[in-house]
Amino acid sequence: MQTKPVDQVIVVVRDTDAETWQFLAEFHPQNLPLQTVEVTQPGVVAALNAGLAAVEGDILSITDDDAAPHPDWLERITAHFIGDNCIGGVGGRDWVHYGNKREDGQAAIVGKLQWFGRVIGNHHLGVGKPREVDVLKGVNMSFRTQAMGQLQFDQRMRGTGAQVHFEMAFTLALKRAGWKMIYDPQVAVDHYPAQRFDEDQRHNFNEIAFINLVHNETLVLLEHLPKSRRVIFWLWAILVGTRDNLGYIQWLRLVPSEGQLASQKLLASWRGRWQAQKQFKMGITPTR
């Protein structure tokens, strides 16, 4: 139960999810304004956009079906929005559980986009005071509906399930519009990562999923970074990269431990980058 009463609960359910439909048919909570929305298209983006169409309130809070918000979740979220009219989005820590073990690491830097294009997540490890960030995480993010306006989640995000980095596209679009994104570790949910049923199997390498992940991140960054910094981003991405989006130096670092797998990741990373560049060019309107 939440310490702040909820005005509307929207559950987005895929048309083929028989188990969830059966559960909802037998679920009759008292004083809970529950509304179900059916979605027929695959992917989290279509599901979230279907949910957006049903939103009626001033604040939209989003979590996943494998997460449980802490009791004061909505109360803390609302306090941030009331306290500063310039805040467009609020997120917080997702305490990740693996079986009976909870990940208890700590990180001071959370949700930041570095000037050359590297994205630092760490939303599941954040500690300290509330602060302004660049990116929120899908399992724990809330938005002022006035800030969202007609904005939807980006349908160009690739993938048939998770569509990794969809939330980065959304939050950076709000940042460009002048809204603040706030991360508060006390705005917390317990996260129990569920099995995925698409090509993205989390920590197991899948070439298609890897390409999609890199494509999505690259497309978002190319649209957000000013032209002068895109060149620097490309140099860093191709020569250095990260463990999830390999460049040449990361490949050299991983080869001793991963062997041929490291080479597969490097090629998939470069393919994802290249495909995003082609899509980005197609979407550019020439200036006069």
Q: What is the distance between the alpha carbons of residues 45 and 157, in angstroms, rounded to a whole number? A: 8
Query: For domain 56-191, which architecture applies?
Result: Alpha-Beta Complex (3.90)
pLDDT in tens, 168-204: 999 999 999 999 999 999 999 999 987 766 665 566 7
Would you tell me how many other CB atoms lie within 10 Å of the CB of residue 190? Answer: 15
Q: Give pLDDT tens digits for 146-171.
A: 999 999 999 999 998 889 999 999 99
Task: Identify the band that residue 20 occupies on the pLDDT scale cut at 50, 70 and 90.
Answer: very high
- Measured distance CA(220)–CA(218) in Å, rounded: 5
Per-residue pLDDT tens digits for 246-271: 999 999 999 999 999 999 999 999 99
> What's the token pair of residue 142?
């809330």
**87-98 and 140-144 beta bridge pairing:** antiparallel
pLDDT given at position 138: 96
CA 188, CA 184: separation in Å to the nearest integer? 8
Domain ranges of the chain: 56-191, 207-283
The 10s digit of each residue's pLDDT in 195-239 is 766 665 566 789 999 999 999 999 999 999 999 999 999 999 999
Question: In this structure, how many other beta carbons lie within 10 angstroms of the beta carbon of residue 242?
Answer: 16
* CA distances to 134, 163, 174, 197 from 43, in Å: 24, 7, 22, 11
